[in-house]
Structure 1
Amino acid sequence: MTTLRPRKITRSDNPNTQTGFLPRYATLVSGRRSKWAVLLIWFVLIAAGGSLAAKLGDVQDNDPETWLPSSAQSTQAVELAEKYFADKDSSTAVVVYARTGGLTAADREKIAADRGTLQGDVAVGDVSEPQVSADGKAAFLSYPLRTSPSDNAVLTDAVGTSEDIVKENAPDGLDIRIAGEAGSVRDFAEVYSGMDGALLGAALAVVAVLLLLTYRSPVLWLVPLLTVFLASQVASGVVYLLAEHAGLLVNGLSAYILMILCVGVGTDYALLLIARYREELHRHEDRHDAMRIAVRHSMPALTASAATVALATLCLVFGSMNSTRGLGPVVAIGIAVVFAAMTSLLPALLVILGRWTFWPFVPRHTPGPAAGVEKEHGTWARVARAVGRRPRLIWAASLGVLALLALGTTTVQTGQTQAEQFTKTVDSVEGQRLLAAHFPAGSAAPADIYVPAEAADAALRAVQDVTGVESAATQRTAGGWTHLTAVFEDAPDTTAAQDTVERMRTALDKAPGDSADAVVGGQTAIALDTADAQRDEEMLLIPLILAVVLLMLVLVLRAVVAPLVLLASVVLSYAAAVGAASLLFHAIDYPRIDRGLLLIGFLFLVALGVDYTIFLMARAREEVRLRGHREGILTGLTVTGGVITSAGVVLAATFCVLAAIPTVASLQQGLLIAIGILLDTFLVRSLLIPALSLGIGARIWRPGHPEDEAPPPGERPSQTARVDVGA
């Protein structure tokens, strides 16, 4: 059974004898007077950050072209279009008209009238002549609309105006949809519109329910929840300032990940600190002493956790895409601000409010054995004894389960089409479906080819001969460059169309003259270049992230064997999470993933998976130093089991909130990370790591020898939590 004995105030706990940053910091955030100074500083930060956080949406840049590396052909095509063909800040809209029984005379009159109105009211270039399908059942108009890199509303408003024009006085039975790049961007903007507040509210609601269940107190849950909310506002304010004045790229993905991570990780840190504070309240009559010791003992693990996640995400600055490079600093800022809030504002608030916040289960100072805390650890004491009895069976079975789930990675399919990107029906997808039914599927988004003018004829012939090209034509010449367009036989968002782009680029390289200088751009080329860039990033960033995580583990645990074992476990856990998630995606009929999910999933699952292992092993090392390897490992598992499990459930549930966004990518991202966190929480950290640690023995700490290290002055096993680990 678990026996917690009262801890005396020793020389190492006495604030008058403590030196170094950590003891002084712990005294600062929990001191009788200094706690008020901490609270005042945070009030100032919150007042400034809260007003700026509301502006974060104003600096988001969701233009797909800005995410590509500068070396990509599709990016060069955008630059040429803007420089020579006045296509800067524009996006093509395609209005599709269809009638099952065939277009009527009234329908054709409506289309002609719409062309004139669109030309005069909303288009920033020429509106094409109506293109009528061979079966006479559909037609479409295409034209450019104004966009703004810093304001998505410019394009969405233009599409909305177009929609009002084409649907006004439309004949009954005429199906009208707005497709093309502009229609797709508008649909994405609409599904994300207003989601900032909704996501934050949903995440906070989920956390509130779980905290209520965890603490069974009508008051205590409010303190960490309020702290997390305030920290998220300060973090958003800092990100806004860097985006506005330092050129940091922020998009919808990074903004939502920032929000979810602040809530989830912040709550995790709060759970760990409050759990240690509760332990110390049983041992100390003065709550200031209890909080000081709780902060001092919790800070090493919390600091290591925050530093590992922040440094791992900062590896993304070495990515080739702007979206990847921007995500790293955004997440690192969020982690840093949340860590600061949970280790300063939260302790100050808890000490100011006093013990009553735990009501009705108020931890009282217990001079003798702390029976109340014994009860709290009862379940995990039984788990520890089970691990201690059969460690070999448990680690072998755990590895077997993970390996079996990892086999699911063979079912992973990448490359989503536009129709597979939403969880609800949207106009751009329906418009694309109508185009594919009545026209060459690539009509909505022709490829753009820019070639030196003297090689235009040779390039046009080369493109027309490429398999997969339905038709190609010369558009115009300017500045020594000629703009060609090519319509594909396949839909622009398919892998078949991407294969056509590759064949087209190969044909142009082999064409006579300066055709080799040609660049191929457009929607399909952007998707192809993005996928290629993502593969390159995986090859560079995954080993870099692993190296950073390994280095942090070595520094935290002062060992080499344990970090290698832990890193291998989280990598296997990641593979198992991807495999299990892929099987789930097939089951819910969303089998294809965006390739970027693999890198983002790897980053967060490895960093967050190591998080929980750090919490366990840092405490285990502390206990090993006091009572030896076997008893120390099982004691560490016992006293951290409940709080780390609660933290994992909270973080997994928080990421599931991403499913509220009606896009398949958000749904899959939330599910993948949630599955991985739960695997790390219930299988890797609770069973595999403790069992492996027992199986390997004290060698896991090599080259260190924590079992031979002297305990801190005045501290002995009898003064800390003790577990009867059994035979």
Structure 2
Amino acid sequence: MPRWAVIGLWLLFAAAMAPLQGPLQTRAADESDTFLARGSESAEAKRVIEERFRAGNESAAVIAYFRDGGITSDDRLRITDDMTRICAAATIPTLKLVGSPYGLACGDQDPLDLSPGGPGLLTSPDGSVALASALMTDDSTPVAEAAVSTIRAIVPPPEGDETGLKAWVTGEVGFEADRSEAVKTIDETLLLVTCTVLVLLLLAIYRSPLMALVPIFVVGIAYVVAGGLTYLLVRAGVTTVSGQSTAILIVLMFGAGTDYCLLLVARFRDELRRTADVDAAITNASRRTTPAILSAGAIVIAAMLVLAVADFNATREMGPILALGIAVMVVAGLTLLPALLGVLGRRAFWPAVPHVEADPHPVAPLWRRVGQLVERHPAATAVAVTLVLVAGALGNLGGREPLDFSEAFRTPPQSVGGEQIISERFIPGRAAPVEVVMDYADGEAVISRLTTGLTTPVQEMYLFAGSIPPREGQESELALAQAYLKMDPFSDAATDSVPGLRKAAREAAGGRRVLLGGEVPEAYDTREALKRDNRIIVPLGLLLILVILAVLLRAVVMPLYVMATVILSFGFALGVSSLLFAHVMDQPASDQTLEQFAFIFLVALGVDYNVFLLARIREERAGADSTRAAVVTALERTGGVITSAGLVLAATFSVLMALPLESLFQVGFVVALGLLVDTFLVRALLVPSVAVLLGERNWWPRTAGT
């Protein structure tokens, strides 16, 4: 197909997909079900509450008023006036009820509408906090954002008004609004910062303004297409999407995609030094790099698709989305990029235009010295690097507690501050009650067992009225209760108490179904789901990558030690990061998905870029006297471009550290560190050293050149 036709088709496809970017971001902003475990009891409890209880499809904004020394009579008047103004606001169309400990401002009182237990439950024992609430009949993200914006404009700020009265808007609506605000600008921020970083790096590598923009243009077109296709999959119900998934999609596509472009561009420049024929140069460059790009892309796609077997929703939804993004990027890298380079020719590298030279493969002095080190001292080099990696991996021995909601933001928003006030001044479990769904007839027995047992962690428990009348085929009416724990609901002890609570509740119900939901059971179910996922994802991912490597290299020995070295670099990155997070950054807690995401990205991408070196070793072996000579030549000739690719990818993932969510900061830090270690230690020193030591045995069971 003519080059201009290829470029035109990509532009038309991107233009068709561009209008879908907005709807994709709207879908991604709603993360209400993202962090649940598929098939878990807590997920089932949430579903039953939404279907069978009138409060299930409603959401509440909790306003925590605070005055040090106690709420005064003037404060009560202010709170009552605030509630009246919230009722009169026209920006919350689904508002159902607004009330405080001092009365109902608007709406019809219903046993299911307000927290049970009476006004005493809405004021702290020391009288310093009063809790008001606004109930809405719609729990969607746009409604939460509108409600929180309206309420925060009415009530005093957390810093206090002129009288010293303070207020925080929190609860499920506050959480949803703050989380949405945190992820709302993630994609725009990532795109801006990522493109800026990549342009600066490419300018430094090629010293050409046009060549700094060509890869960004290719990846940008591919990203628009992938985003549109992702939205179509979401709309068809094939997958779900969250802000976290779209953020990782940007980083992965721009990082890996730019690297694929770098490989072809570097080979194109070499070919332009060999021949004056631009068409021949781009044809030869494409022919020699296509197998490596296809293999590298296949490795990442396979690793991402493995995520689709996970039980944890946030992990599972990433699988098809990231795999689709890389697949589109590979196709663009093998079609759009060659077409653009063929049209631009030597002009693409202006002002550093390559000319035909006697030696088309100049070796930089640095990589000549690295090649000499590996050739002369392979054993010492391999041992030294391995010791460094093992020492860093020892940092994993300490372990870290999981990140809770209050630690999820780099800068805690208002909803977190409100929950902290509630936790400090009320029953500890008041900040995150455990929701218990059971047959209405079992309510009294379950409550008695959970609140009066000698070892129960429940301090207080309140029963709502029954569910919506049972439908045909359902045996009984259900009851919904809230249990407040004696301990911090975000602590490990609270999470560990869930199995005991579930067992006790079922025993009290005579073996009949009792469902425990809410944040604490969800945290336990998430932890267990991640354990199960790791037992499947890690070995399955390793096996698939190993098979792809063996097919690519037509060998068994080389894939085995390449995988081992990449796993070592993963261990080093995670161990050193754990030490830095805990002892330098004062962040001892870890996001529960960190190990899983870091493993998948580092192993897949680490092997991915080893493919570039290994493919070149095989290519050089065809014309070399020995594998040792082929390894050294391949290292010297590709060291610059492969190291540049590693730097680009590490820089791209480090952009995640600029985002307000702690989970993405940690993923960005660990993956960026691991990629740097893989670039400068594993790919530059360890893998070549082991390859030199093994010599012709690298190609077992085949012989070199077959």
TM (normalized to structure 2)?
0.91
Do residues 663 (structure 1) and 650 (structure 2) align? no
- What does 1:272-311 align with in structure 2 at a 5 Å threshold? 272-311=263-302
- Aligned counterpart, 1:578: 574
1:542 aligned to which of 535, 538, 544: 538
Distance 1:607 1:453 in 2: 51
Q: Is the 8 A contact 1:107 1:171 kept in 2?
A: no
Q: Is the 8 A contact 2:465 2:480 kept in 1?
A: yes
- What does 1:661-700 align with in structure 2 at a 5 Å threshold? 661-700=659-698
SS of the residue corresponding to residue 178 of structure 1 reads strand
- What does 1:314-325 align with in structure 2 at a 5 Å threshold? 314-325=305-316
Do residues 49 (structure 1) and 17 (structure 2) align? yes
**Could you say which structure has the greater relative contact order, defined with CA pairs below 8 angstroms and 6 or more residues apart?**
1
SS of the residue corresponding to residue 311 of structure 1 reads helix
- Aligned counterpart, 2:433: 446
Unpaired runs of 5+ residues, structure 2, are 98-112, 471-476
- Aligned counterpart, 2:462: 473
Do residues 436 (structure 1) and 404 (structure 2) align? no
Map Cα deviations across residues 170-218 of structure 1 (whole Å, 9 max, x no partner): 6721110012222122111112222211210110000000001101123
- What does 1:318-717 align with in structure 2 at a 5 Å threshold? 318-366=309-357, 368-370=358-360, 373-374=361-362, 376-466=363-453, 467-478=456-467, 479=470, 480-514=477-511, 516-586=512-582, 587-627=584-624, 628-707=626-705, 709=706
Q: CA deviation at 1:127?
A: 4.4
Q: CA deviation at 1:638?
A: 1.1
Q: CA deviation at 1:589?
A: 1.3
Percent identical? 37
Map Cα deviations across residues 506-536 of structure 1 (whole Å, 9 max, x no partner): 211322535x411111121112211111111
Q: Is the 8 A contact 2:156 2:165 kept in 1?
A: no
SS of the residue corresponding to residue 414 of structure 1 reads coil
- Aligned counterpart, 2:65: 97
Moved more, 647-656 or 427-436: 427-436
Map Cα deviations across residues 421-472 of structure 1 (whole Å, 9 max, x no partner): 1111311111112112211122132111011122111101111135321201
Q: Is the 8 A contact 1:61 1:249 kept in 2?
A: no
Moved more, 139-148 or 596-605: 139-148
Q: Is the 8 A contact 1:96 1:435 kept in 2?
A: yes
Moved more, 113-122 or 190-199: 113-122
Distance 1:500 1:528 in 2: 9
Unpaired runs of 5+ residues, structure 1, are 1-27, 29-33, 710-727
Q: Summarize the Cα distance change of 1:554–1:99 in structure 2 as closer, same or farther, 3 Å threshold.
A: same
- Aligned counterpart, 1:712: none
Q: CA deviation at 1:328?
A: 0.5
Moved more, 601-610 or 480-489: 480-489
Q: CA deviation at 1:485?
A: 1.0
Q: Summarize the Cα distance change of 1:225–1:321 in structure 2 as closer, same or farther, 3 Å threshold.
A: same
The one-letter code of the counterpart of 1:175 is: K
Distance 2:250 2:186 in 1: 11
The one-letter code of the counterpart of 2:289 is: S
Q: CA deviation at 1:45?
A: 1.2
Distance 1:414 1:328 in 2: 26
Q: CA deviation at 1:705?
A: 1.4
The one-letter code of the counterpart of 1:439 is: F
2:234 aligned to which of 222, 239, 243: 243
SS of the residue corresponding to residue 679 of structure 2 reads helix
Q: CA deviation at 1:247?
A: 3.3
The one-letter code of the counterpart of 1:495 is: D
Moved more, 58-67 or 294-303: 58-67
Q: Is the 8 A contact 1:92 1:142 kept in 2?
A: yes
The one-letter code of the counterpart of 2:359 is: P
The one-letter code of the counterpart of 2:150 is: T
Q: CA deviation at 1:155?
A: 1.6
Q: CA deviation at 1:64?
A: 3.9
Q: CA deviation at 1:343?
A: 1.5
- Aligned counterpart, 1:18: none
SS of the residue corresponding to residue 593 of structure 1 reads coil
- Aligned counterpart, 2:102: none
2:198 aligned to which of 185, 207, 222: 207
Do residues 218 (structure 1) and 209 (structure 2) align? yes
Do residues 107 (structure 1) and 75 (structure 2) align? yes
The one-letter code of the counterpart of 1:89 is: N
The one-letter code of the counterpart of 1:84 is: R
Q: Is the 8 A contact 1:402 1:573 kept in 2?
A: yes
- Aligned counterpart, 2:147: 158
Q: Is the 8 A contact 1:561 1:702 kept in 2?
A: yes
Q: Is the 8 A contact 1:115 1:127 kept in 2?
A: no
Q: CA deviation at 1:477?
A: 1.3
Could you say what the CA RMSD is over the residues aligned between the two structures, in angstroms? 1.9
SS of the residue corresponding to residue 362 of structure 1 reads coil
- Aligned counterpart, 1:184: 175
Q: CA deviation at 1:147?
A: 4.4
Distance 1:54 1:288 in 2: 40
Aligned length: 669
The one-letter code of the counterpart of 1:448 is: E
